[in-house]
Amino acid sequence: MATSMSSGSSGDNQPGTPTKLKGHQRLLKGLQRMSSSPSLVRTGRKRSSSLGSRRLGNPSMSCVSLSSPSYSQCFGNSSSPQIYKCLSTAPNNIPSDRQTVQDENNTPIRMVFSDTAVAAAANSWPQITVPLPADVRPTSRSGILPSSMEVDEDSCEMKDAVGETAPPQKSHFEFWADMPEEIKMAILQYLPAKDLFRCSRVSKSWNKMCFDGQLWARLDASTYYTDIPSEALVKVITAAGPFLRDLNLRGCTQLEDAWQSHGERIADVCRNLANICIRDSRIDRNTLHLLLRKNPKLVHIDLSGLAIVNNCSMRIISQSCPNLELLDISWCKGVDAKGLKRIVASCPHLRDLRVNELSGFDNHQLQQQLFEENSLERLILSHCSSLSDMSLKILMEGINPEIDLLTDRAVVPPRKLKHLDLSRCRSLTDVGIKSLAHNLPLLEGLQLSQCPNIGDEALLDVLRSTPRLTHLDLEELDKLTNTFLIELSKAPCAATLQHLNLSFCERIGDTGVLQLLKNCSSIRSLDLDNTRVSDLTLMELCSQARKRGFGNSFPKLGFRVAVFDCGNVTWAGVREVLSSNTYVPRQRAINPPTTAKSPTESSQSLSSTPSSYTTTTVSTTTFLPHTPYNIHPITITDDPSTFPPSATILYPKEIIDLKCFYGWQMMVNEHTKRVLRGNLAGAMRLERKWADYMMATEEAGADGAGGVDARRRRRRAREVERMYTEEDDGDESAYGPAGLAPLGGRRRRARSGGCVIM
């Protein structure tokens, strides 16, 4: 009995018999289960080095182990072989001394093995775990690491598979705050002045940036001077300080009080000005003189319209601004020829002199001084009533020049003038104008308007010796005739002439203008109001406009013609101009080179034609000689929405901008707008309805027998007027580029009813 009991108790304590755990020991053992390999790979963890919780019996789903290798010794002695007997390297038939040692509580002890032993044991054991599917596997909260990354437990840094350290994550970048100040200034330089003023209200830092002097090297307040207060202008000027190079305060009358209170401070900070314009502003004389004295680098000075400017101001300019190139003292009544002489003597680089309405210009010493300097390229002497023939002759030839006996001309160096304005100098005659001949070879612009004593002979001598002339203003020259225009068309400047003003030249008619238009191919602006020109001139203009060709882009304004207040110009001539603006040549069909086809291929090509509509191609081939545009084949189909890909929409390259009778001008402007938009169909329809309206108006106003005929004409006029006012643009798609459906669209059906007479 005792033997059996002892044998039974000894059998319960056999090393191979599992011991039943209780309480927290069983819980701790369950928490030490190892997780499956796929889960560890995804979370970036290594496999646990403990195999103490792997069961050799029934398989079970593994979970993430909450244990750590650092706590492997917390559950007792690791030398107990109770659990992992199978891992012993000793032979099974040799009893070990460790097997005789029993724990006091007989508790399973977690054993720690090396990685080599663990790998060998894992390879020898059968697969008893089942991995989870990829879509339901648990992941770590910190995210999944890439397969090529591994975690270094010692340094806690992510390393690549090749051993390189991954770049650290970039910190948050403040785009505008971290940007260098130089780049900020470069960006803000693209903003106009109005936008800079608006941006200055964003914050204090933006206010400081927007009023930085680097952004205000050029201050032009002439376009927004009515919208900005004087305080803001003073702040900008003082903030810009030495950066300010170009100052334009034209029309800034709100600075009248600021000049008196802040004028000295503004003059102190602005010492690098190169251009200054204060015309029509109410600046005081002391501030003006301070600005002129403290800016020796001034090149352009515009003081026109200032009553405070006098000869003392000219003296300060001559002493302080030796590099002056442009001076505008027009309508400065306090300046005369005496003050201007100081400028001419002290400023050798003077190129542009504008002295409109200057008194005392008959001073021969001033003219001789200008002749000797010979540096002017632009001279504006408009409204100088004191300018005489002798003064102009001294300006061109000097005093007592040497005369060539063969040509009877003064032997003097040619003048450098390119633009000369002598308009409204009513004392000039043909004698003074003849002195311009052969002395101005570089002349490009000549203005002689409202000089009533100038005729054809003097002007022809000048035009024959100015081959570069592009602008010619001869308004209100009553002595000009058609002979002058005929000779002008033969002059060397005929090829370069672009702008010609013949307004109020009442002797000018079609005879001279037609020759001018035929020979002056570069002309772009022609003023013929209050002359004797007729519809023939407008027809010749249309012919010249068509010679400038056609293209695929929208039209542009080419000619600018003014024919208002011309009694011989009728609405028929105006309609001719409108028709020319919408004219495009009819495109002809071109037979493409074809190869010989077999009868089978021909029948197949015929059978492939759709039966819904037929396609008709023009079979005749017509070539227009010397055409400046490409001719493309046109295919006309019965389907108006179908346009062949080979068709090219053509537009006139340039159209005529017409200024005519004010009662027709609104219609002409609307017609021009449509043509510029490429809506030639709408423009043609407007032209047609306006022509119907004009014809009905003439019929209604014609002298007749009265009675039934008069009532009938008035009724037709009312119907045409109703059609003209109720015009709509909804069916423009039915027209091609010329309004005649050349691209497959049909002509629109007439909207008028039957004959009212029948």
The domain segmentation of the chain, as residue ranges, is 14-145
Confidence of residue 128 (pLDDT cuts 50, 70, 90): low
Backbone torsion region of residue 672, taken as left when φ is above 0, otherwise alpha when ψ lies between -120 and 50, otherwise beta: alpha
Query: What separation in angstroms does the CA of 708 have from each of 522, 701, 712, 717?
Result: 54, 14, 6, 14
- pLDDT (0 to 100) of residue 60: 46
For residues 712 and 733, what is the distance between their CA atoms, to the nearest angstrom?
35
- pLDDT (0 to 100) of residue 127: 55
Backbone torsion region of residue 273, taken as left when φ is above 0, otherwise alpha when ψ lies between -120 and 50, otherwise beta: beta
Mean pLDDT of 51-69: 45
**Side chain identity at 703, as an amino acid letter?**
D
Query: How many Å separate Cα 380 from the centre of its chain?
Result: 35
Quote the mean pLDDT of the chain. Answer: 76
- Please tell me which residue, 567 or 161, carries the higher pLDDT value: 567
For residues 288 and 276, what is the distance between their CA atoms, to the nearest angstrom?
11
Q: Is the pLDDT of residue 201 over 80?
A: yes
**What percent of the chain clears pLDDT 90, i.e. is strictly above it?**
48
- Which pairing describes strands 499-501 and 445-447: parallel, antiparallel, or unpaired? unpaired
Q: How many CB atoms are located within 10 Å of the residue 266 CB?
A: 21
Do residues 328 and 304 make contact, with C-beta atoms less than 8 angstroms apart?
Answer: yes
Q: Is the pLDDT of residue 91 over 50?
A: no
707 φ, ψ to 5°?
A: 70, -130
Which of 71-75, 391-395, 548-552, 653-657 has the least mean pLDDT? 71-75
Q: Is the pLDDT of residue 102 over 80?
A: no
- Please tell me which residue, 648 or 630, carries the higher pLDDT value: 648
- pLDDT (0 to 100) of residue 600: 44
- Which pairing describes strands 158-160 and 149-151: parallel, antiparallel, or unpaired? antiparallel
Q: Is the pLDDT of residue 95 over 60?
A: no
For residues 320 and 297, what is the distance between their CA atoms, to the nearest angstrom?
9
pTM of the prediction? 0.66
| Closest to 540 in 3D by CA, of 564, 516, 560, 566 | 516
Do residues 374 and 415 make contact, with C-beta atoms less than 8 angstroms apart?
Answer: yes
Do residues 310 and 334 make contact, with C-beta atoms less than 8 angstroms apart?
Answer: yes
Do residues 517 and 523 make contact, with C-beta atoms less than 8 angstroms apart?
Answer: yes
- pLDDT (0 to 100) of residue 361: 83
- pLDDT (0 to 100) of residue 486: 95
| Closest to 374 in 3D by CA, of 427, 418, 322 | 418
Beta strands in 115-207 (DSSP E): 149-151, 158-160
Tokens representing residue 396 in the block: 């061109």
Q: Is the pLDDT of residue 624 over 60?
A: no
Render pLDDT for 289-334 as a digit per residue (tens, 0 to 9): 999 999 999 999 999 999 999 999 999 999 999 999 999 999 999 9
Render pLDDT for 533-587 as a digit per residue (tens, 0 to 9): 999 999 999 999 999 889 989 999 999 999 999 999 999 999 999 999 999 887 6
- Residue identified by tokens 């650290």 is 168
For residues 442 and 634, what is the distance between their CA atoms, to the nearest angstrom?
51
| Closest to 34 in 3D by CA, of 90, 110, 89 | 110
Tokens representing residue 294 in the block: 């403290």
Backbone torsion region of residue 504, taken as left when φ is above 0, otherwise alpha when ψ lies between -120 and 50, otherwise beta: left
Confidence of residue 170 (pLDDT cuts 50, 70, 90): low
Do residues 619 and 522 make contact, with C-beta atoms less than 8 angstroms apart?
Answer: no
Confidence of residue 150 (pLDDT cuts 50, 70, 90): very low
557 φ, ψ to 5°?
A: -75, 125
Mean pLDDT of 404-413: 90
**Side chain identity at 124, as an amino acid letter?**
S
For residues 561 and 356, what is the distance between their CA atoms, to the nearest angstrom?
29
Render pLDDT for 650-672 as a digit per residue (tens, 0 to 9): 899 999 999 999 999 999 999 99
Render pLDDT for 672-727 as a digit per residue (tens, 0 to 9): 999 999 999 999 999 999 999 999 888 877 655 455 566 666 776 677 666 656 55
Do residues 281 and 249 make contact, with C-beta atoms less than 8 angstroms apart?
Answer: yes
Measure the CA angle with vertex 159, ends 154 and 164; round to 5°: 120
Tokens representing residue 627 in the block: 């055409």
- pLDDT (0 to 100) of residue 683: 96
- Dihedral sign computed on CA atoms, order 663, 668, 671, 676: negative
Query: How many Å separate Cα 579 from the centre of its chain?
Result: 33
